[in-house]
Structure 1
């Protein structure tokens, strides 16, 4: 198909495929080799392979099928219906028998089920992940999955079975169950296409159509918000296996897809790869209490996103009722107050036993954020069912672990865990704000916390998906809503967008999130694909501005002021909104240059300079060297974004530090500002201030959250029990742990010689820190500890890369593996400003001893 030939470049990530267009359903192989600096070539790698899915809408011959036609239940997507019903009908299941009469070479199935699905073949669940296929604006994009069934099919009779859940596709309003909003894209439906290549070269296709059969399944209620009820008495043994008698089942109905186009079933289907969602970890109870007769509460020791799994025994018709929650009330009972769910409309899971020995169950099509599970049992007889075991299953995107951080200070390790668990708990198809009350993809986190996330996990595919969600949500006038997918529009009674829908700090994610992904992964495709959407949003902000000044939005959300947190209290909205606008324009300038759009780059650079000048004329007070009202956010954002005139930078930084010291080393910045506080202090070589802030254990601080028993980062700095107990929006210390304390500063947007900078904060009162990061260039490691008269520093730089290592002020001597730097040909020492020593190194492992 294609041979790149030898390409002499250190920028190997930008070698793109240049062969003929790929074909659907085709297996491709690839291999590579490299040359070293002496021109010596390596052997060829072992061949790797992949198979393309259905790349074109016309490749689909399958039909969307459902149990019922879309009717009055279908609501306009992205809209409140306000209609609450007493109950919903059980979710449908589907089946189809088919026969294979000769040996198979390859069998690939492409499948989607809305809102969510579980596919069975010959009595076996073949989906290796959960909550498929992923949340999108189904009118514009519906994802599907592919599975290789070659080893699972056999000659003779075979049978497909399909279970459907509601997910975000169909959110019901049911009396007595919690929901964030009510809305639907239509009835549950599915589409499936199995392509078989036989050993003799012939082919056949099995598709979803009216030959499939359907019946009501055992899931009697399912809501992504309200929970799930399962009646095991309604299970039909063998329903998903060959030979099952389905004569009393109904024929499936062929229906239009989510976009309403019945003539082209594949028109909105996308096989884009996104991270699979998996039940990745189990938590066992650390404590079981009985706060009231007949009620047991299981403490799983960790707040997380997922579901409980129970093993029970009891009489037929007995019911186990599970109430999950993040906190307990004064009586020791589970409360859902932190998630906004009251006792009249809680989130519940329930299981009704079939009464045949030991039974194990967990919800399939919903999840929740919880630490505790309250268990109540009911039975028509005196014998109540027995819960033999209960455990929690941690459900999140199955992303690669790219980073590892540790320090000799236990508090910092616990803070790292606190943030890490919140990140994972909110990584389920989107980056949600919390896994309880909302589950919505609030966008400001995607760029503000992006670097923190990317130091820990490989999330390029997730960020590509989020970018697609934002494009699907973008309005004709260029506005990007605060959430994507936009399942509910936050508008007032007149239909006008509120600040929750239209805030520059949130909408700018369309520009800043792909840019953040590029800085970590160096792939220009995410920039090129979404460039037009970025331009449209920048033009929208220009039209909304007052000669370049923006004064609307939420501002520094959840900052710490005199009132209950919410919209910004300490910082003017004009400061955060305009600073973000400037950041957008700077990013677009660089993106346009990367994409070869020089005239656009010039346009955005000129506009950025105009906004900078207006920003400083309007918001900077040169007589006091403060911005706006002098809050931490007000001074940190201009510092971090390069808005401060050079001659005033040190004075503004000093004022930022002064305010932090005035608050006894406590933070006052909120969701937006704290990110820039961390960056401004790290960039300004004031890790000592961050160290003091992160060492606090009184309110407000991470340490205070830990002292109050939090196991995930909470929404409010003071762990308010009426706020979410599982948010990652304030987790920006994570970036400092890697970039500041351990010293791994990585940015693919910088020139090749500056992509890796090692600059650990070794002068702090701590006995050492260590981090490793699996970058796209390879493994980067930095580990240091103090020794008599200086420090030990171990560094690993990946093959083909170079790095600059910055050492503390006043370094007198440096040795590497016992050799003085002056005797090591591979080391280049230079003195930077402020008497900072820099060492330039190539790939390899280094052991430095640094002396003052």
Structure 2
């Protein structure tokens, strides 16, 4: 009996040990194609992944294997009946971008899946909670019906179809799109909160669609499916008095829908767009993505998308050819635009009996939301503006200029009752609303604005970062940039949300890391990269704008600094996610563009650039144009060649990698021969901050040259005491100064309110980053292309950077400058959240960091000597810490996953 008791006791300890060890890894947040439970996945092999967590205080936790089970029903999944795919136990630490390799998937099919993992002790985690995804329409032939429109054009088109739903409906799945913008409704209610769908593309090459589960919105018996379609970006036109950035058209607005009704008895019914639908003009008398939206509520067919409405007089829709683009769903799209928050005005200024200026205190992208009372036929007109004149009227100098027309919302009341209006097809970047009220007739009462709010709209991409420091000005600068970032995130990155709304490409890569630290940028970056591929010309050019809705002339179309995004965005995507899909998919087109650029080179150098756009010289009241395109264009060509050498190496094209590396070195030699004059006052290029920063940050100089140019640059910036570099150069200036150990200088200039720059803009009252360093009133007040200071906050000040793709290994290199007592940041990577914080106190540095499970880090810890502690004990005794070496004033340590508290002498 004693032996039995000992055996049972030992067995119990073993079981408890296994349970405790297994708990070291918890698997959660299952994702398919970078989304949780997505609808409309339209690739045959979606990519799967998950996040891991470990108990607090546990270090060095690793995944050594995984198992995925995928089934056609939740019941089969629960019973471990993997009738689609069962991987079995796969020895791998991979947690992201695992390609589905099971049974072929079908259009509109829903699948369920779960996963579990094994830790470093070969103990299994619990199974994850079940997840699901739904396929889109995988082949063009799977779409039923036709594109439809109306026989007579109108500003907004209403489309209606009555549907009878039988008993036993199990699931209703709607695949739907409209060109250029649409909304879908069922029985009088919108089917989603999305705005401005389906996303902006080159509609002749790619037409996005949405997939919706509408089961809960349908009832047994009579139903109505409604579509409201406006021109959006597909048809931009000019009307007297209304602003338009350009004129261009993909043709008449149109829509396509495919509704599948699946019943419990196995029946499948489809309802598709065809001439059986009915049409009517919408209540909008004007709807332009640039010019605004006018809504006459008297023209609304009330209840038009409900079963009780009598639509017998509505004419039939007509079939029309599609715009030409391949229909693509979730896997090509990005997060939708939705209403993010609602702001009330912070100040009202009564300008007359009928005019009021509303100040919302924040320049951002929004749609005005109006509640109004008063007589039928009375009108409220709302004109947005970033700045105002002394008399309270809107100053449009920052928004396209009054000479090019204005833009506004207007609402005409239908009844004498209180009415509410939320516009559908126009949004604006602005801070102010100039609200005018007009009576229905002379002598009649004016309408009364009961409430107007600034409903902020932008992409629903999730926030992915946090930054804060002991300096309030630096924190305000962070928010200044962040407001500009979020204001320009829709289905692409606009450079401003009022006059442009175009996808200018320089900001997508120059601000790429800054954006990625702040936002879950993966899907948006992938869409932008594919938009560039769609925009590529036959000769290989990547134009400055993608989608290329308007063809600009000269270097406004072919600037190398802008086209460099075609190499940098996919490479940054690989750095931050570890996903090489874009590299593989776009590599042939990258080669074509690089060949185009090299064909335009003369003696190895490229003069195909816009230069250092919006650089600044003290006392100059416009763009300074100090660093011309021949300097910047050749530098970015060198960077492109360097990226291509690395991309080719990742893809296994070693011979091509060698050729690209050799070409980069040849260009480097030509560049230095042409522009490096160490005995001249300019030293290199035109002697500007950007002329020096580009070759420094891009690695074009040898060690002696770099030291010489670096010293000159630092001295120049100290003497000027402001950032001269513009959009093309500021990222590289910040990198060069930080790499020179002068983050203190970056902080000093950034927080100086006396000279043009970030703090200066705050002092001028800016609430989002402006287009120019001095916040010129003729330039946009909501631009993020100078916002690379945010990258510096994360990468250099707090010190977080992916040293291996997808943060499988993180470089931690904090810079505790004397002007701050502390700084902290966190970033949600594809493998979990990294947090870091440093604090200075009486000559000591305290550094706290958390590294996600299944990853490692290299810490470059500032330390005057080797008396370093972790958790209050000598660092040499710390679990999970490996001493590497001393590098100057830093100690290099290798860290396993977990949380640490280091202290060192400064």
**Which category describes the TM-score, using the shorter chain as reference length?**
over 0.9
Q: What 5-or-longer segments of structure 2 have no aligned partner? A: 1-83
Residue 123 of structure 1 pairs with residue 177 of structure 2:
no
Counterpart-to-counterpart distance in 2, 1:206 and 1:552: 52
Matching residue of 1:331:
391
Query: Does the alignment pair 1:148 with 2:210?
Result: no
Residue 360 of structure 1: aligned partner: 420
The RMSD of aligned alpha carbons is 1.8
The residue matched to 2:144 in structure 1 has which SS? Answer: coil
Name the counterpart of 1:734. 790
Task: State yes or no: 1:636 paired with 2:693.
Answer: yes
1:610 correspondence with 2:666: yes
Are positions 1:539 and 2:595 aligned together? yes
Determine if the alignment matches structure 1 residue 810 to structure 2 residue 864: yes
Partner residue of 2:529? Answer: 467
- Match of 2:372, SS state, is strand
Candidates 103, 108, 121, aligned match of 2:168: 103
C-alpha deviations, 1:92-127, integer Å up to 9, x for none?
211110111221111100000111111110111112
Displacement, 1:144? 0.6
Of 447-456 and 468-477, deviating more is 468-477
Change (3 A) 1:181 1:207: same
C-alpha distance in 1 between matches for 2:351 and 2:803: 53
User: Quick one: structure 1 residues 273 and 551, their matched pair in 2 at CA, closer, same or farther if it must change by over 3 Å?
Assistant: closer
Q: Which of 365, 371, 376 matches 1:316?
A: 376
Residue of structure 2 equivalent to 1:75: none
After TM superposition, the score normalised by the length of structure 1 is 0.94
Structure 1: distance between partners of 2:805 and 2:662: 21
Looking at structure 1, the residues matched to 624 and 631 of structure 2 have their Cα atoms a distance apart, in angstroms, of: 11
Match of 1:157 among 207, 210, 222: 222
Cα deviation for residue 822 of structure 1 reads: 2.4
Q: Which residue does 1:406 correspond to in 2?
A: 468
Aligned pair 1:306/2:366, yes or no?
Answer: yes
Q: Structure 1 residues 383 and 344, CA, compared in 2 at 3 Å: closer, same or farther?
A: farther
Q: Deviations over 1:439-492 (max 9, x none)?
A: 10000100000000000001111111111111111100000110001011012x
Structure 1: which 5+ residue stretches go unaligned?
70-87, 260-265, 492-497
> Cα deviations across residues 350-398 of structure 1 (Å, max 9, x unaligned)?
0000124111112211111110001111111431000001110111110
Q: Aligned partners of 2:380, 2:807: CA distance in 1, in Å?
A: 60
| 3-state secondary structure, aligned to 1:238 | coil
- CA gap 1:23/1:748 in 2 versus in 1, 3 angstroms: farther
Rounded Cα–Cα distance in structure 1 between residues aligned with 2:457 and 2:130: 34
Cα drift, residue 548 of structure 1: 2.1
1:787 aligned to 2:841?
yes
Contact 1:520 1:747 in 2 (8 A): no
Q: Which 10-residue stretch deviates more, 761-770 or 187-196? A: 761-770
Q: Residue 484 of structure 1 aligns to a residue in which SS? A: coil
Q: Which 10-residue stretch deviates more, 612-621 or 672-681? A: 612-621
In the other structure, the counterpart of 1:207 is: 272
| Contact 1:779 1:798 survives alignment (8 Å) | yes
Instruction: Give the secondary structure class of the aligned counterpart of 1:704.
Output: helix
Cross-structure match for 1:800: 854
**Residue pair 1:555, 1:568 contacting (<8 A) in 2 also:** no
**Partner of residue 444 from structure 1, selected from 503, 506, 511:** 506
Which deviates more from structure 2 when the two are superposed, residues 4-13 or residues 673-682? 4-13
Deviation at 1:269, TM superposition (A): 4.7
Alpha-carbon deviation of 1:283? 1.3
Contact 1:341 1:347 in 2 (8 A): no
What is residue 684 of structure 2 aligned with on the other side? 627
- Partners of 2:333 and 2:403 lie apart in 1 by 40
Deviation at 1:509, TM superposition (A): 1.1
* SS class of match (1:430): coil
Tell me the equivalent position of 1:36.
119
Equivalent position SS for 1:365:
coil
Q: CA separation of 1:213/1:427 partners in 2, compared to 1, >3 Å: closer, same or farther?
A: same
Question: Aligned partners of 1:251, 1:825: CA distance in 2, in Å?
Answer: 74
Residue 748 of structure 1, CA deviation? 3.8
Task: Answer whether contact 2:155 2:230 (CA < 8 A) is retained.
Answer: no
Instruction: Answer yes or no: is 1:758 the counterpart of 2:841.
Output: no
Q: Secondary structure of the equivalent of 2:402?
A: coil
- How far residue 681 of structure 1 moved from its aligned partner, in angstroms, is 1.6
Which residue in 1 is equivalent to 2:821? 767
Q: Contact between 1:68 and 1:187, CA under 8 Å: does it hold in 2?
A: no
TM-score calculated relative to the size of structure 2: 0.88
Q: Distance in 2 between matches of 1:21 and 1:656?
A: 59
> 1:512: Cα distance to partner?
1.0
Paired with 1:759 and 1:711, the residues of 2 have a C-alpha distance of 31
Q: How far, CA to CA, are the matches of 1:209 and 1:806 in structure 2? A: 64
Aligned to 2:50: none
Contact 1:33 1:42 in 2 (8 A): yes
Q: Is the 8 A contact 1:139 1:268 kept in 2?
A: no
Name the CA distance, whole Å, in 2 between partners of 1:811 and 1:371. 52
